[in-house]
Amino acid sequence: MLASLPRAAVAFFVLTFLATSAGAGEKVTLGLPTSEVVPLGTIDHGAWDTLLKHYCDEQGLVDYAAWKHSARDLAALDDYLETLSSGDIASSASPRERLAFWINAYNALTVAGILREYPTTTIRNHTSRDPDQFDIWHDLLLIVGGKGYSLDVIENEMLRGQGEKRVRFAITCASMACPRLRREAYTAEKLDAQLTDSAQQFFARPANLRIDFDTHTVYVSRLLHWFERDFGTTPQKGLAALAEYFPDQQAWRAVTATDYRVEYVTYDWHLNDQASKPSARR
């Protein structure tokens, strides 16, 4: 039956089927196993870029409802993930090519996972600690070079430990407190500027960085607590390593001139959904 349907209809059918049929603890795979691999530097991220520009706004919020109802663009995302499947991660590639590939893979796989579950209010609805229940971070796999990579593996094995601390502010877990989903694909050619801008955008949000001069307390995102060892051996050293991306250098120098405390703010796990914006609820 599927063979007689248009490509867009097939993609819509498959995503809908997965959303209703994936059992407890089962793995869900996206992309395709392939014996034909290409260098990472030749992977075209243009389709992902087009989708982001259409469905993602400047605040990093996604129009999941519209995307979910577009068979054509569900198919386009599926096609892009299949393109990533052909990446030859064993071949020689520059660090920037590898980082751009895996950042895009992480973000696209996350969006695909949310679309699979949508409507939903938070990714935490799909992160069960019960091994018999589906966990989007461990059980949703992208096939690359014939091997399945979960969001957890991409984050902790393919991206962390690469000597690039700004990666933390480029990947998004589809939550309001996460780094914003960038409205363009990452590319090797623009990666340095993109990573710097993403880090600056993250710390420009008062919810992620706020200084109380009266109490000499710096309030920062809980991300810096969860991934503290990526930035420094102490909270203060971690902040110092990231200070070049802070919006107010004068304020930062003033608070660090004396002893200061670091407090981590509550993490907002609500979905980065355009439908959650106040204007969308009127």
pLDDT digits (tens, 9 = 90+) for 100-128: 999 999 999 999 999 999 999 999 999 98
Render pLDDT for 163-182 as a digit per residue (tens, 0 to 9): 999 999 999 999 999 999 99
Same domain, 246 and 143: no
pLDDT of residue 36: 87
Report yes or no on 194 lying in a domain. Answer: no
Same domain, 143 and 238: no
Same domain, 214 and 164: no
What's the rounded Cα separation, in Å, for the pair 249 and 246?
6
What's the rounded Cα separation, in Å, for the pair 214 and 103?
39
How many structural domains compose the chain?
Answer: 2
Is pLDDT at 186 greater than 50 in this prediction?
yes
Same domain, 237 and 179: no
Same domain, 93 and 183: yes
Same domain, 88 and 46: yes
Q: What is the pTM of this model?
A: 0.90
**Mean local confidence (pLDDT), 79-92:** 95
User: What are the distances in angstroms from CA 29 to CA 4, 66, 138?
Assistant: 23, 23, 11
Same domain, 27 and 82: yes
Is pLDDT at 2 greater than 80 in this prediction?
no
Render pLDDT for 14-55 as a digit per residue (tens, 0 to 9): 443 343 334 446 899 999 998 889 999 999 999 999 999 999
Report yes or no on 29 lying in a domain. Answer: yes
Q: Domain residues for 33?
A: 2-187
User: What does R_g of the chain's alpha carbons equal in angstroms?
Assistant: 20
Report yes or no on 274 lying in a domain. Answer: no
Please state whether 89 falls in left (phi above 0), alpha (psi between -120 and 50) or beta.
alpha
What's the rounded Cα separation, in Å, for the pair 47 and 209?
34
Same domain, 93 and 221: no
Same domain, 180 and 222: no
Confidence of residue 91 (pLDDT cuts 50, 70, 90): confident
Same domain, 245 and 136: no
Report yes or no on 45 lying in a domain. Answer: yes
Q: What is residue 122's three-state secondary structure?
A: strand
Render pLDDT for 204-260 as a digit per residue (tens, 0 to 9): 999 999 999 999 999 999 999 999 999 999 999 999 999 999 999 888 988 888 889
Same domain, 45 and 145: yes
- Cβ-based burial of 190 (10 A; exposed 0-12, middle 13-18, buried ≥19): middle
Report yes or no on 226 lying in a domain. Answer: yes
